[in-house]
Structure 1
């Protein structure tokens, strides 16, 4: 391990990395040269800020785009991503700055995959930012873009002992990959601490504490790419939920029951050697610096009947704090999690029906809940949300502000006759930005609320009838006269 230095990578490692990335750049540039950019659009200035302080890479882009005076109106602006970024891309959001100074506001814009993307395996993947009002010839506008990348930090070394810190690699470009001509651009890479083992130098490059600046670069041609590699310390918990199943059961008798089943792992550098609990407890700031032993779940307000258990049984190491706006559940697994370690557990709680189920103007009922994972600062590889509607519900319709897989199934519970319609929503690569409200609309006839009470009453009556019949039956054995 080297000291804290502002140096380039070792010659052999840098040569291999640069050569591999250079081949990718050349292939990408060749394959995307046939992608026609929006007529007349060019990027006047671009600022790219890469936040590497956590396990999830957050990239903030500020783009000032201009439409040529002789071009037609532009209704969209294209964003380009490498194939590797596309595989790890979790979410893309964009806003447009409107107004000036104190009256300045940011209007959300729709972002969708572009039909201009090619099928070549090494071609950049394009997304379209749809402008709320077309950009007239000669006009300029400013876009704010946020996108997040998961599983983009590579632990190196891949295995560490209990007393070692976690070091990771991150690969990106010093210039903005764009199908447009970029007149001026700068890139900032922010890391969690001053311990930066090495980083690629592409003049002009400067470092200030935990931040590295690339640029300013001028007159970058379309599809330009300048690979850089940073190697730094990151001991933040790499909490990865491999699979999460959230089951929401609606009862019109006044309660919503939510059950969440987690398969959790530490996605950082794998732990090697023997775990020493004595060392872990005696030197908590040094031993197991990259491990984690508790997580925070942000639950809705007014939760009740909260439980937290695993295969063995109830886990008592949890703390619940509630107020009128939220409920924070701090959970602590039975053992601290090091790199490569796994655990499974279940969280359950109830919610008052009147807070989350409403009636729409057309007479339908709908539930309004938060999509995503309640655990903060986690990545969910595979999320399944099951909304179990009351028996007798029909014509369900879901409203989610992003693309999900959806199908219907039938669930059975106590005293059900025909079963309950269940809306199943699936999504991969889920992060905290997906924790937004979603709705499921359905038609429900209140007469079905009498089904279960009538079944109970019928069962009790049948029991008494059978008991009375039994008392009036003569089952003794005697001789016939």
Structure 2
């Protein structure tokens, strides 16, 4: 009897909790909007999770809607690196995409810590109207190795946690989710009927008429031996010289963020069985450098590293870098890459007479996550009123640095950002004012020094310093 009473109390408590959650959900979600159709594709082929979401949203109310909310569980919010949204315009071959602003927003009493992003529509959505949105976002550090430690000859298995049902503050009439894995080697996955698997793809749905904030957790356990390359810290120094060059210096702290290596490392086994031994490790990475690059070097604390290959043409430059040793899970490497670029390819003059640098933000290494990125743009001495234009939020501040023959020091524009992915590799600009007279400062100073030295030599040769008469 006592056990039955406890069971009834537990059921009553669960029902009350569910009802309170539904009440809070209905108070938070907008009854005016509903999602007619939702399709989500989750790409797990890399260690960076990429999600493509297509939403057809309809306004079923009487008042116009100017924004659409995206909901994320609290376990995903800290791992979101980038979110982009666009509205489709036209049909089929004439279809085009109109970019929309996406900004974080707060709603009081979000159920279970749900976080929100707001998509601002270009024009309000009227009664009975619908709009199709294309949303793209990336997640970092979202694949958890299991087991957390593997030997040299073992493959790497990882977990991915998500929901088979799209988390949304709106009623969803129909939805479907596809999950793509790197290979057909899937250890296990959660089934939420209807669920289907074909080759490297899992299909969840279609699911019909789901209320707001529906959630159905799923776990996919699969093999992923792609490089889990994470740069813990990257400092890029871009030094501008108006004498015709742009010098780039990049300081890397690289780590393999996959399952930690256990046991001993056998170099003989690694080289004799490359397809079997060390399949989860990586020994080279590809750096995409700008075209017309020159004076390239690659070194670490010991010295120059010769195990690299550079391929250049008129459109791009690719550098294949290879650390001194292969990187297994938990292993780290630090190195420096430097190169020069023609100034005329990146420095321009705006209509108002200001100079501006147009360079690429992000990390040159392909398929790499940067936990902390710092870009330092060193302006020529005498530059004034610097300002940076970056297409996404970053932290900015100014510093002063001193180099050879500097008198008052050089202004340095410092840009900092965390959780950087390859999709952040977009152009940014740094504007500044510069007077051409400052280009003569260093030559005049050198000429003055040589002139004074010459006059001192002449005076020394013509002055008699002897004490004899």
Q: Same fold (TM over 0.5)?
A: yes
Q: In structure 1, which of residues 177, 180, 185 is the aligned counterpart of residue 170 of structure 2?
A: 180
Residue 13 of structure 1: aligned partner: none
Q: In structure 1, which of residues 84, 100, 103 is the aligned counterpart of residue 75 of structure 2?
A: 84
- Please list the CA deviations of residues 164-184 of structure 1 after superposition, one character each: whole Å capped at 9, or x if unmatched: 000001100000001101111
Say which is worse superposed, 344-353 or 28-37, in terms of deviation: 28-37
Q: In structure 1, which of residues 46, 50, 57 is the aligned counterpart of residue 42 of structure 2?
A: 50
Q: In structure 2, which of residues 11, 28, 32 is the aligned counterpart of residue 40 of structure 1?
A: 32
Say if 1:73 and 1:160 are closer, same or farther in 2 by CA, change over 3 A: same
CA drift of 1:473 comes to 2.7
d(CA) in 1 for partners of 2:347 and 2:165? 48
d(CA) in 1 for partners of 2:196 and 2:148? 28
CA drift of 1:304 comes to 0.8
Say if 1:187 and 1:289 are closer, same or farther in 2 by CA, change over 3 A: same
2:84 is the alignment partner of 1:96: no
CA drift of 1:130 comes to 1.1
Residue 289 of structure 2: aligned partner: 299
Alignment of 1:120-131 (within 5 A): 122-131=112-121
2:426 is the alignment partner of 1:442: no
Residue 411 of structure 1: aligned partner: 401
CA drift of 1:74 comes to 1.4
CA drift of 1:334 comes to 0.5
Residue 229 of structure 2: aligned partner: 239
Alignment of 1:304-315 (within 5 A): 304-315=294-305
Say if 1:476 and 1:347 are closer, same or farther in 2 by CA, change over 3 A: same
- Please list the CA deviations of residues 295-314 of structure 1 after superposition, one character each: whole Å capped at 9, or x if unmatched: 00001111111110100111
d(CA) in 2 for partners of 1:44 and 1:194? 32
Residue 66 of structure 1: aligned partner: 58
- Please list the CA deviations of residues 381-408 of structure 1 after superposition, one character each: whole Å capped at 9, or x if unmatched: 0000001111111111111010000000
Say if 2:162 and 2:218, in contact at 8 Å, map to a contact too.
yes
3-state secondary structure, aligned to 2:153: coil
2:453 is the alignment partner of 1:463: yes
- Please list the CA deviations of residues 257-298 of structure 1 after superposition, one character each: whole Å capped at 9, or x if unmatched: 010000000000000011001100111011000100000000
3-state secondary structure, aligned to 2:28: coil
Say if 1:394 and 1:443, in contact at 8 Å, map to a contact too.
yes
2:222 is the alignment partner of 1:225: no
Residue 110 of structure 1: aligned partner: 101
CA drift of 1:409 comes to 0.6
Say if 1:434 and 1:234 are closer, same or farther in 2 by CA, change over 3 A: same
Q: In structure 2, which of residues 288, 310, 319 is the aligned counterpart of residue 320 of structure 1?
A: 310
d(CA) in 2 for partners of 1:32 and 1:45? 24
3-state secondary structure, aligned to 2:404: coil
CA drift of 1:123 comes to 1.3
Say if 1:35 and 1:454 are closer, same or farther in 2 by CA, change over 3 A: farther
CA drift of 1:82 comes to 1.1
d(CA) in 1 for partners of 2:80 and 2:117? 11
Say if 1:328 and 1:26 are closer, same or farther in 2 by CA, change over 3 A: farther
d(CA) in 2 for partners of 1:27 and 1:373? 48
- Please list the CA deviations of residues 98-142 of structure 1 after superposition, one character each: whole Å capped at 9, or x if unmatched: 01122111111111112x334879411100111122212101111
CA-atom RMSD in angstroms: 1.9
Relative to the length of structure 1, the TM-score reads 0.91
Relative to the length of structure 2, the TM-score reads 0.94
3-state secondary structure, aligned to 1:459: helix
Say which is worse superposed, 356-365 or 94-103, in terms of deviation: 94-103
d(CA) in 1 for partners of 2:130 and 2:274? 53
- Please list the CA deviations of residues 333-359 of structure 1 after superposition, one character each: whole Å capped at 9, or x if unmatched: 111000000000000011111110000
Residue 349 of structure 1: aligned partner: 339
Gaps of 5+ in 1: 1-21
Residue 358 of structure 1: aligned partner: 348
d(CA) in 2 for partners of 1:26 and 1:265? 44
3-state secondary structure, aligned to 2:344: helix
Gaps of 5+ in 2: 1-13
Q: In structure 2, which of residues 373, 378, 384 is the aligned counterpart of residue 383 of structure 1?
A: 373
d(CA) in 1 for partners of 2:282 and 2:333? 12
Say if 1:202 and 1:214, in contact at 8 Å, map to a contact too.
yes
2:161 is the alignment partner of 1:171: yes
CA drift of 1:206 comes to 1.1
3-state secondary structure, aligned to 2:444: helix
3-state secondary structure, aligned to 1:33: helix
Say if 1:31 and 1:123, in contact at 8 Å, map to a contact too.
no
Say if 1:463 and 1:27 are closer, same or farther in 2 by CA, change over 3 A: farther
d(CA) in 2 for partners of 1:137 and 1:88? 36
Say if 1:369 and 1:346 are closer, same or farther in 2 by CA, change over 3 A: same
d(CA) in 1 for partners of 2:39 and 2:368? 27
d(CA) in 1 for partners of 2:94 and 2:442? 57
